Chains A and B, each alone.
Chain A
């Protein structure tokens, strides 16, 4: 697969069809993959593809990365799950479909954290999303690399995150509250979760709005709670469950749980899953005369 990928990257750069290829490369000690931005066709051999390619690179297409935008039209190496974020970005007007060349990678799953890699991809080191993935054959692409995957996701989603959500749902309201207050109290307000989220592309985050300061900036429980709840609410109907926020959190707050819970609620209420169709806006922000709810008419 790597060979096909490199050839395509080369061709795209040489023809001038794209000005930069955003993909994965090795770190110096070849223990982890890291994002690479290739502008010179001579460098395409830096590109790699393996189960360590876990990062969601769609982040680098957002308005937060002006210097990458300045390079010119990008091609991006993307797994199906990353493409779901690209689709949301297109829906939200951040760029047009034709503004990006998507090299879709057929995927058999990645590791949850790169440190878990022992040379073999076993189910227990894969994240919940991979076990339930319905886009192993990437769904929106300009070019596909890899053999067709025959994997079919289980009918009822399974895995650790779902189990934990179920477990939490079975608890009383006060127990749940106590659980989250405790979890969020560890937050150090580093905003790593926000920085890696491809959908947190606001140039001025609400946390930085200080006239008035809706969200307290110091890392004490009240401010933490309002930050974490706002983050969750701003992703309702948008979050694709890529898991980057939880992966990046230095204090291991289970952000996947809250995200997955919201995804479930939206699925239940509106039968909507984000990141499949660029024409459909997340249901929470659409005024429609045929809304299921009658009260608004």
Chain B
């Protein structure tokens, strides 16, 4: 005969207001196998837990039920307490009589809530009688991490993991790390030069012995599970031997061909053999193969002739390397919504309508104009500039419904930069609202308006057109109620922050979720902000949604701390709630294989002594299985059972109803 204890929680008045907890306890005491019952104000409090431990010991209980709140809240707490009293933690089950009873039945006579609590608890008792003691699963952990994306978030994560004494591979798809921050001029709210604060971090990442940089590389395939990932990385051919290149730059000097620079967003040209920007890390040029005449037509080869250490190889091919890592941090960042989408603002038609990021390049001392604000069409210094905020953001119809969060701040920054660089110039800002939450952010925007003379107009721009060499901007000033028309020399669009092209493909390779905008989903928006639903894969920075540098950096460090915590032990313990296949009845139909969202199920061959395959069966990989139960539902022959939620347990519970 089992010896079961039932503990009914009042949750202050949360449960007790509409459930007669005493009655629930009394009724349960009458059931066979139940040897102890009680009700108490707060079971989760220290005295509550102590009471539970005492009762287990004194009554020699072999299973307990806590009828309280959702198992999401305190299942762990009570299982731990039970374990403390020598019970197998999985012999403790929770009945949810708060969310499912007291909170949904407001009847003050307590009739409905009490009856339902009794029913649910009785079901759990029957279920508990079929429980099997379970053991946590131990998985070995490979103590090496991979960070995908070498923007500021990824660099920070890599540096922190390396500082913690673990090896990291930093995979970046461009020829240099740095990401979008490398493009910025000065940064709000402190106005320090972006390159000056970023470059030291990039160099640190290059020099740190624990960090291996794979630039110009992309993740092709990810297998395995937490602690044991196998990642295949394509190292695209740079046509330059990274080991021997001294970074002298002679080759770039000699290359006779120029194309538009992606880094400069079309504002400048670069050579066909190039580094994206002067401070690139690593300082090794790559050849842009589609534009190289030597590679395409076997003509030229100038770079190879001047290269002292002879490290240019036009025949170099992509390499696939596989890496075994225990954890992955995804920090692949963002891009700006392509301006081409905004014809009404004249983009594409009018040369001096540019994006905010292009303005950053104009203002940057390493940019195409050496930091002078000169407009792209004729190089003149614009005497009046119109900034338009929310281009694509908060615009369900043409853009995205969310707020890009950083544009209010960087537009204010742009007006400041403009007034510092062009004395006497006038800036205008069309905005919907000013959102400047953050330490010293509101003061920053107020400064732009009050001290730097930026003219802020609340309203939307309806039309942008050219007249007599000027750009005419028509819009509403909703505060004065007037239509305004401004003659501008240049227009800057604060285009929405969006996810990167291909963000969904990478997510599918990694098995992590994303929202409808293809930003990656965190496990829990408040309590697990850098975790994903796939154990061992963490997120940092703008791949999750718009954010500024301080937030990206904080997340990089947060993700790193998760990785270091995971690496702190040789093995990690996992909940044993995983599926098992009944090998004698499995039909090898592989329905479970196609249904499992975590690709946790493999095909296994059963062999006879001679090594001949006698049959095939499904096999669940304990390391990957998340216990979702999808396979159990998919299996027609009922050959899969989920530990902790077995058919027998569920059947017993239903039968008790």
Q: Count chain A CB atoms within 10 A of each CB in B590, B594, B651, B652 and give the residue with the most.
A: B594
Please pick, from B589, B597, B639, B648, the residue contacting A212 in the complex, using a CB distance under 8 A: B648
B504 at the interface (CB under 8 A from A): yes
**In whole Å, how far is A125's beta carbon from the nearest beta carbon of chain B?**
34
Q: Which of A275-297 contact B (CB under 8 A)?
A: 281, 285-287, 289, 294, 296-297
B279 at the interface (CB under 8 A from A): no
Please pick, from B516, B594, B651, the residue contacting A285 in the complex, using a CB distance under 8 A: B594
A119 at the interface (CB under 8 A from B): no
**In whole Å, how far is B184's beta carbon from the nearest beta carbon of chain A?**
32
Q: CA separation between A201 and B586, bound complex, in Å?
A: 11
Instruction: List the B side residues contacting A94 at CB < 8 Å.
Output: 587-589
B637 at the interface (CB under 8 A from A): yes
Interchain CB contact under 8 A, A203 and B637: yes
Binding site secondary structure of chain A: loop
B291 at the interface (CB under 8 A from A): no
**In whole Å, how far is A53's beta carbon from the nearest beta carbon of chain B?**
28
**In whole Å, how far is A297's beta carbon from the nearest beta carbon of chain B?**
5
Interchain CB contact under 8 A, A214 and B647: yes
Q: CA separation between A203 and B615, bound complex, in Å?
A: 13
**In whole Å, how far is A66's beta carbon from the nearest beta carbon of chain B?**
11
Q: Which of B425-482 contact A (CB under 8 A)?
A: none
B282 at the interface (CB under 8 A from A): no
Interchain CB contact under 8 A, B651 and A212: yes
Interchain CB contact under 8 A, A206 and B513: no
Specify the chain B residue showing the minimal Cβ separation from A287: B597
**In whole Å, how far is B271's beta carbon from the nearest beta carbon of chain A?**
40
Q: CA separation between A287 and B587, bound complex, in Å?
A: 20
A205 at the interface (CB under 8 A from B): yes
Q: Which of B611-657 contact A (CB under 8 A)?
A: 616, 630, 634, 636-639, 647-648, 651-652
Interchain CB contact under 8 A, B636 and A234: yes
Instruction: List the B side residues contacting A209 at CB < 8 Å.
Output: 638, 647
Instruction: List the B side residues contacting A206 at CB < 8 Å.
Output: 636-638
Interface size on A, as a range, is 20 to 34
Interchain CB contact under 8 A, B594 and A286: yes
Q: CA separation between A205 and B636, bound complex, in Å?
A: 8
B514 at the interface (CB under 8 A from A): yes
B595 at the interface (CB under 8 A from A): yes
A92 at the interface (CB under 8 A from B): yes
Please pick, from B507, B516, B585, B596, the residue contacting A287 in the complex, using a CB distance under 8 A: B596
Interchain CB contact under 8 A, A285 and B591: yes
Q: Count chain A CB atoms within 10 A of each CB in B587, B596, B616, B636 and give the residue with the most.
A: B636
B59 at the interface (CB under 8 A from A): no
Total interface residues on B, CB under 8 Å, equals 29
Interchain CB contact under 8 A, B651 and A93: no
Please pick, from B591, B616, B637, B652, the residue contacting A205 in the complex, using a CB distance under 8 A: B637
Interchain CB contact under 8 A, B513 and A203: no
Q: CA separation between A273 and B513, bound complex, in Å?
A: 29
Given contacts A211-B648, A212-B651, A297-B513, contact A92 B589 (CB under 8 A): yes
Instruction: List the B side residues contacting A212 at CB < 8 Å.
Output: 647-648, 651-652
Instruction: List the A side residues contacting B595 at CB < 8 Å.
Output: 285-287
Specify the chain B residue showing the minimal Cβ separation from A230: B636
Instruction: List the A side residues contacting B597 at CB < 8 Å.
Output: 287, 296
A204 at the interface (CB under 8 A from B): yes
Given contacts A206-B638, A212-B647, A287-B630, contact A92 B590 (CB under 8 A): yes
B508 at the interface (CB under 8 A from A): yes
Q: Which of B492-549 contact A (CB under 8 A)?
A: 504, 507-508, 513-516, 521
Q: CA separation between A232 and B634, bound complex, in Å?
A: 14
Q: CA separation between A297 and B516, bound complex, in Å?
A: 9
Interchain CB contact under 8 A, B585 and A203: yes
Specify the chain A residue showing the minimal Cβ separation from B615: A63
Q: CA separation between A297 and B514, bound complex, in Å?
A: 7
Interchain CB contact under 8 A, A202 and B504: no
Specify the chain B residue showing the minimal Cβ separation from A205: B637
Q: Count chain A CB atoms within 10 A of each CB in B504, B513, B590, B596 and give the residue with the most.
A: B590
Q: CA separation between A190 and B585, bound complex, in Å?
A: 22
**In whole Å, how far is A222's beta carbon from the nearest beta carbon of chain B?**
14
Q: CA separation between A201 and B514, bound complex, in Å?
A: 38
**In whole Å, how far is B626's beta carbon from the nearest beta carbon of chain A?**
12
Given contacts A204-B637, A212-B647, contact A93 B589 (CB under 8 A): yes
Specify the chain B residue showing the minimal Cβ separation from A207: B638
Q: CA separation between A81 and B426, bound complex, in Å?
A: 77
Instruction: List the A side residues contacting B587 at CB < 8 Å.
Output: 63, 94, 201-203
Specify the chain B residue showing the minimal Cβ separation from A282: B591
Specify the chain A residue showing the minimal Cβ separation from B591: A285
Q: Which of B579-611 contact A (CB under 8 A)?
A: 585, 587-591, 594-597
Per-position 1/0 for A207-243, Cβ under 8 A of B:
0010110100000000000000000001000000000
Interchain CB contact under 8 A, B588 and A93: yes
Interchain CB contact under 8 A, B651 and A214: yes
**In whole Å, how far is A158's beta carbon from the nearest beta carbon of chain B?**
32
Q: CA separation between A285 and B647, bound complex, in Å?
A: 20
**In whole Å, how far is B627's beta carbon from the nearest beta carbon of chain A?**
15
Given contacts A286-B595, A287-B596, contact A202 B636 (CB under 8 A): yes
Interchain CB contact under 8 A, A285 and B514: no
Q: CA separation between A190 and B504, bound complex, in Å?
A: 50
**In whole Å, how far is A56's beta carbon from the nearest beta carbon of chain B?**
19
Instruction: List the B side residues contacting A201 at CB < 8 Å.
Output: 587
Q: Count chain A CB atoms within 10 A of each CB in B515, B637, B639, B648 and give the residue with the most.
A: B637
Per-position 1/0 for A187-207, Cβ under 8 A of B:
000000000000001111110
Instruction: List the A side residues contacting B639 at CB < 8 Å.
Output: 204
Instruction: List the B side residues contacting A211 at CB < 8 Å.
Output: 647-648
Instruction: List the A side residues contacting B637 at CB < 8 Å.
Output: 202-206
Specify the chain A residue showing the minimal Cβ separation from B647: A212
Per-position 1/0 for A86-114, Cβ under 8 A of B:
00000011100000000000000000000
Interchain CB contact under 8 A, B504 and A289: yes
Specify the chain A residue showing the minimal Cβ separation from B633: A285
Q: Which of A229-260 contact B (CB under 8 A)?
A: 234
Specify the chain B residue showing the minimal Cβ separation from A235: B636
Q: Which of B235-294 contact A (CB under 8 A)?
A: none
Interchain CB contact under 8 A, B638 and A214: yes
Given contacts A204-B585, A214-B638, A287-B596, contact A294 B516 (CB under 8 A): yes
Q: CA separation between A189 and B212, bound complex, in Å?
A: 66
Q: CA separation between A211 and B650, bound complex, in Å?
A: 12
Instruction: List the A side residues contacting B616 at CB < 8 Å.
Output: 93
Instruction: List the B side residues contacting A287 at CB < 8 Å.
Output: 594-597, 630
Q: CA separation between A289 and B514, bound complex, in Å?
A: 10
Q: CA separation between A104 and B505, bound complex, in Å?
A: 41
Instruction: List the A side residues contacting B634 at CB < 8 Å.
Output: 285
Q: CA separation between A209 and B651, bound complex, in Å?
A: 12
Please pick, from A92, A203, A289, the residue contacting B591 in the complex, using a CB distance under 8 A: A92
**In whole Å, how far is A288's beta carbon from the nearest beta carbon of chain B?**
9
**In whole Å, how far is A253's beta carbon from the nearest beta carbon of chain B?**
21
Q: CA separation between A182 and B110, bound complex, in Å?
A: 41
19 A-B pairs (CB sep. < 8 Å): A92-B589, A94-B587, A94-B588, A202-B637, A203-B585, A203-B637, A204-B639, A212-B647, A281-B591, A285-B591, A285-B594, A285-B634, A286-B594, A287-B596, A287-B630, A294-B516, A297-B513, A297-B514, A297-B521
Q: Which 7 A-B pairs have the closest CB atoms?
A: A212-B651, A202-B637, A204-B585, A92-B589, A287-B597, A285-B591, A93-B590
Interface residues of B (CB under 8 A from A): 504, 507-508, 513-516, 521, 585, 587-591, 594-597, 616, 630, 634, 636-639, 647-648, 651-652
Interface residues of A (CB under 8 A from B): 63, 92-94, 201-206, 209, 211-212, 214, 234, 281, 285-287, 289, 294, 296-297
